[in-house]
């Protein structure tokens, strides 16, 4: 059977999965190379045979991508791959997945200033596959595509109009995750997936929310870059633009230093001064007020975004939590939803504490769900369809 490798390159990690072409695609192997750039790079692997996942200390002497490619080539499942699908975080105005060609690759390189945190590694992996397997087709699946349905009023930035012609606008991200969540809502028979008002919350180290009406995205919290919107693990979320000039004047901070600060030194890490990981902060919050303050800010802002999107949608029928925090941090889901009874959002605390698929109170008018997102499954399905492989 043909198979497709999916690559999800982040700023500090690379997720991968190998799928056999079928309906739905069957996962043969999956894993993650994380903490890239640190002294503690590790390769986590789920063999797909029911055995426990393995964690391997990665001995990287050169490129992290080269290391991962060498490891993948050593796996027996890798020998039969017929295509590679990539998550590409920034796709500008691309609405559909596309076959990687040299013109598309040149275009992506020109887009690096739009997303210097993700695009360079995504491009590097595409080129690494090209160099080793020149005839292997590759597909670019764009994270921004889900948000192309947003109305102009949700896309525009209030700066001089001439910049819009250069592509400066709100794009939104986490689109592959949101695509999966909407597909799962439909599979579960939730009527709001087709006709209704849905708020999707992808909460993890990167975090955002999206407002969806009748299956179409109408607004999202991230903006021109993935650093905007909600406070995240190490990203600041929205900031007063005057802060950059203030820090430039008072501390001599350069644009590059500011970029590093808002993407790698801020968010939960910056506020807590100890960790970007919500699990660590929950364990410390009783004894460390900084950890408690970081979590309080995260929940407060998530609550505000839900409220603002309920206003945009004229109410809400379904709320979905996903991502590492959204799927596993029951205390944070409870704090985010606390006080939202006026919107019809009310949790069943026992179901929530057990991370149940449906955590809303039985008589509540709004369904609140926890769905484990799966960007790799979406990349695989999109790639299989575009490459014309016939699933069985």
What are the residue numbers of the active site? 143
Distance CA 35, CA 58 (A): 10
Please report, to the nearest 10 degrees, the dihedral formed by the alpha carbons of residues 316, 365, 204, 147 taken in order: -30
Q: Which residues pair with 214 in a beta bridge?
A: none
- Cβ–Cβ < 8 Å for 142, 91: yes
Alpha helices in 190-338 (DSSP H): 242-251, 255-264, 267-272, 278-284, 289-313, 323-328, 330-337
Q: What is the torsional sign of CA 173, 179, 182, 184?
A: negative
- The answer to whether 228 and 266 have CB atoms below 8 angstroms apart is no
Which of 261, 263, 266, 268 is CA-nearest to residue 329? 268
Q: What is the 3-state secondary structure (H, E, C) of 138-189?
A: EEEEECCHHHHHCCHHHHCCCCCHHHHHHCCCCCCCCHHHHHHHHHHHHHCC
Using CB atoms within 10 Å of the CB of residue 342, give its burial: 0 to 12 exposed, 13 to 18 middle, 19+ buried. Answer: exposed
Q: Quick one: tokens of 137?
A: 């087709």
Q: Is the dihedral of CA 15, 20, 25, 26 positive or negative?
A: negative
Look up tokens 């997102």; give the residue: 373
Task: Look at residues 264, 270, 266 and name the one whose alpha carbon lies nearest to residue 117.
Answer: 264
Between CA 191 and CA 188 the distance in angstroms is 9
């Amino acid at each position: 059977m043909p198979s497709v490798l999916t690559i999800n390159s982040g700023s500090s990690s690379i997720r991968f999965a190998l799928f056999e072409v079928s309906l739905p695609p069957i996962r043969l192997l999956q894993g993650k190379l994380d903490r890239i750039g640190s002294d503690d790079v590790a390769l986590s692997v789920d063999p797909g045979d029911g055995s426990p996942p393995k964690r391997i200390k990665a001995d990287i002497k050169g490129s992290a991508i080269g290391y991962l490619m060498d490891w993948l080539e050593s796996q027996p499942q890798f020998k039969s791959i017929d295509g590679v699908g990539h998550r590409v975080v920034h796709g500008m105005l691309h609405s559909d997945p596309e076959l990687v060609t040299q013109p598309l690759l040149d275009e992506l390189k020109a887009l690096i200033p739009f997303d210097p945190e993700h695009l360079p590694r995504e491009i590097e992996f595409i080129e690494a596959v090209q160099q080793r397997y020149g005839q292997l087709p590759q597909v670019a699946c764009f994270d921004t595509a889900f948000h192309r349905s947003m109305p102009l009023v949700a896309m525009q930035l209030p700066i001089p109009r001439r910049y819009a012609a250069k592509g400066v606008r709100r794009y939104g991200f986490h689109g592959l995750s949101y695509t999966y969540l909407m597909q799962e809502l439909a599979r579960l028979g939730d009527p709001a997936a087709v006709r209704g008002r849905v708020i999707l919350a992808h909460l993890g180290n990167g975090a955002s929310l999206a407002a969806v009406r009748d299956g179409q995205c109408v607004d999202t919290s991230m903006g021109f870059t993935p650093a905007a919107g909600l406070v995240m693990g190490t990203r600041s979320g929205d900031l007063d633009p005057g802060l950059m000039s203030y820090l430039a004047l008072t501390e001599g901070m350069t644009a590059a230093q500011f970029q590093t600060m808002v993407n790698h030194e801020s968010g939960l890490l910056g506020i807590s001064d100890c960790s970007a990981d919500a699990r660590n902060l929950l364990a410390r919050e009783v004894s460390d007020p900084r950890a408690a303050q970081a979590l309080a800010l995260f929940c407060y802002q998530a609550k505000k975004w839900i409220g603002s999107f309920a206003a945009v949608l004229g109410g809400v029928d379904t709320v979905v939590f996903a991502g590492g925090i959204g799927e596993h941090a029951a205390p944070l889901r409870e704090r985010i939803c606390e006080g939202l009874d006026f919107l019809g959002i009310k949790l069943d605390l026992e179901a929530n504490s057990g991370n149940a698929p449906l955590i809303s109170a039985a008589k509540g008018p709004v369904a609140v769900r926890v769905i484990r997102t799966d960007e790799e499954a979406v990349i695989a399905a999109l790639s299989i369809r575009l490459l014309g492989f016939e699933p069985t």
